[in-house]
Structures are given as C-alpha cells and as structure tokens.
Amino acid sequence: MKFLHPGYLNLFFLLVALLPCWLYFLHGKHQSRRTLGVGLALKRISRFSSLRKDVIRFLLLNLVMAALILALAHPQLVQEQKVPQPGVLDVVFLLDTSPSMRATDIQPSRLARALEVIGAFSRAKLAHDRVGLVSFAGGSVIISYLTEDANNILYYLDYLKEDTTLSHGTNIGRGLRNGLTVIRKEAEVYPAAARNKKVFILLSDGEDNSAELDGAVEAVREQGVKVHTVGVGSVEGAPIPIAYERGRPVYLEDDQGKRIITRFDERTLHWIADKTGGKFYRSLSGFELDKTFSEIVLKERDITGFRKVIEYQDFYHGFLLAAAGIFFLTLLISG
C-alpha cells in the first residue's frame, strides 16, 4: 500500500498533540457536573454514566478524524502484474474474386462481405502487425505487399469493390504461389522482418478448377506457412451474376439457358488446411468472419515475453464511508 498524498499523515501528530486538551476538557466537564450535582440525574436516565459516554464520544470522534486523515492521504493498493507481450504477426489474405464469389446468398455478396471484414480487421489490428493481400480467380494478382498501414489496405479493398472485371475460373494454387512471392520479396527488402510469424488466410467458395494446386500446397508446406481456409457461401448456393443491364443482374447460364448455381465445395479447403497445418472454418452467413479472423490471430500469435505493469487501486472511499458511519454512531450516543 502507498499514499498518494503522504503529507496529510502528519495530521496524526496534531491529533496526538490534542489528546491532553481533550483529557483536560473531559476532566473539567466531569468536575463541573459533580459540583452542580447533575451527575446522578444523568446516570438515572441513561445506561451509561456521563463520564463513560463522554469517553466513548471522545474515542469515536478521534476515529472519525483518523479516518478523514487517511482518506485525505489517498491510500492506494499497489498491484504488480505481468502483461504478455505479443509478437508481430504477418497475415496474407488470399481472396477468391472469381464470378462465383459475387453470388448474393451472403449479403451484399460473398466477395463484398469478405472485403468488409478484411477492412475491419486491418483497422483493428495491432500497430506493428502487417497485412498483405492477394486476389485470385483464373489467374492471380498481388494487390498489396505486407504493410503496417491499414489505409493502404483499405485503398486496395475499395479498388476491388469497384472492379467489375470478371476472370473466369478459380486457380487457388496460383494464389498460394503469389502469397509465397509476397513473403519472399518481403524477406529480400526487409531481412529483419523475416523473423515475423507468417500466416495465410484463404477465403473462397472452394471451387478450384486448376492443375496447380497440389504443387502450390506442397511449396507452402515446405516454407512452414500455415494456411487457414475460410469457406464462404450458403448450403443452398446461388446463381452467379456476370453483368448488370439497366441495374438488373445477368446470371451465368448453361447451354439450355438455365442458370448455373454455384455450389460450395469444402473438400478442397479442408485438404489445403490439413496439408499445411491450418484449420478450416465455415461461414454460412458472413457474420462469422469477424470471429473467425480473431480466433486465427489469437491462435497463431506468439508471446515474446512479459512486461511488469504496476497498477494502483484507490480505496480512500472506504475511509470516508467509515468516517460517516462512526460520526452517525456518535450522534446516536449523544442523543
């Protein structure tokens, strides 16, 4: 325990110095009552003698003063805690931007919802964490290399929101290889950052139709990078919008003119996660994505050490309440 204003404790010396004055006052008061002959009358109407009541009041009033002095000194309870220090985490998002991700079974669409949550994640991340962004469809594009600047990521997310270019096909393997390129380039430019833990978060509806996936997964596994996969899409599926005419969507159709329904394929995403030591997550409505990202980061972040933090808890309020309670008791005894 410590006192924020220890100087007020010197008032205890004043309280002790006043003790002879209190005793002299009590003695004089008691002698006056004996001289006037009122002592016996007071004793008959009270369980306590007048001298005993005066002594009790004297003690209680001194306790009130002592409690007020302690409250003025502002006592604090000192608590020492060890706070874990989080290591830096580099997160590379691999985002499926194929036409099937524009399906609206998740509002406003699978892709738009994913972009919203990646943006929220970038704004809320720890200051020194870094985020990279890779898109993939029939091919793959590195949208942003690893950066601490959330505004940089938000700028590119806005670009993807407005991009209406369609690239048919889903080449997850190409996206994984570009994710490795992001890490390799980062190590060349900032060698010290190579120590940061790296993790991939892959968002897709799982419909891979390329021949590159096996080799890409093996390359990622050799680099020791975990890929956590997040499947986005409802169980029922939805038609695939490929254009808009007069504000109305035009959907992808087969040779018979029937709308093609995109189906969710979780087997591929399960396999990628299992092969790389990651975990598969399922998002049926899009609202699970925030919790999913938080869980991944919490699971993957390393603790590099502990920092001692001293906290001070005020408890002068207790002395004020004690002073008020004792003073009220004193009034009752005086009554």
What is the location of CATH 3.40.50.410 in the chain? 88-301
CA–CA distance, 231 with 251 (Å, rounded to integer): 22
What is the DSSP track for 212-281?
-HHHHHHHHHHTT-EEEEEEES-SS-EE-EEEEETTEEEE-B-TTSPBPEE---HHHHHHHHHHHT--EE
The CATH number of 88-301 is: 3.40.50.410
Q: Which residue has the higher pLDDT, 89 or 100?
A: 89
Give the mean pLDDT of 90-109.
90
pLDDT score at 114:
92
Residue 40 has pLDDT above 70, yes or no: no
Question: Stretch 274-278: mean pLDDT, rounded?
Answer: 96
Please name every residue paired with 90 in a beta bridge, in sequence order, or none if there are none: 130, 198
Residue 282 DSSP label = E
Residue whose tokens read 């006052």: 25
Q: State the Cα–Cα distance between residues 69 and 316, nearest whole angstrom.
A: 10
Quick one: pLDDT band at residue 36, thresholds 50, 70, 90? low
Name the nearest CA neighbour of 72 among 319, 330, 321. 319
Strands (E) in 72-126, as ranges, are: 75-86, 89-96
Mean of the per-residue pLDDT values of the chain: 85
Please say if the pLDDT value at position 194 is more than 60: yes
Identify the H or E element spanning 288.
Answer: none
Please tell me the distance from the alpha carbon of residue 299 to that of residue 58, in angstroms, as a whole number.
63
- With cut-offs at 50, 70 and 90, classify the pLDDT of residue 247: low
pLDDT at position 308 is 86
- Examine the pLDDT at 30 and tell me if it is beyond 80: no
The Cα 293–Cα 161 span in angstroms is 20
Q: Residue 125 in contact with residue 262, Cβ under 8 Å?
A: no
Q: What whole-number distance in Å separates Cα of residue 77 and Cα of residue 313?
A: 5
Separation between Cα atoms, residue 283 and residue 202, nearest integer Å: 12
Per-residue pLDDT reduced to its tens digit, 142-172: 999 999 999 999 999 998 888 777 777 789 9
Is residue 142 classed exposed, middle or buried when 0-12, 13-18 and 19+ CB atoms within 10 A define those classes? Answer: middle
Tokens (6 digits) for 52: 């005993």
Those residues whose C-beta lies under 8 Å from the C-beta of residue 141, and which sit 6 or more positions away, are 134, 135, 178
> Which tens digit of pLDDT belongs to each residue from 201-234?
999 987 787 889 999 999 999 999 999 999 988 7
- Model confidence at 305, pLDDT cuts 50, 70, 90, reads confident
* pLDDT value of position 47: 46
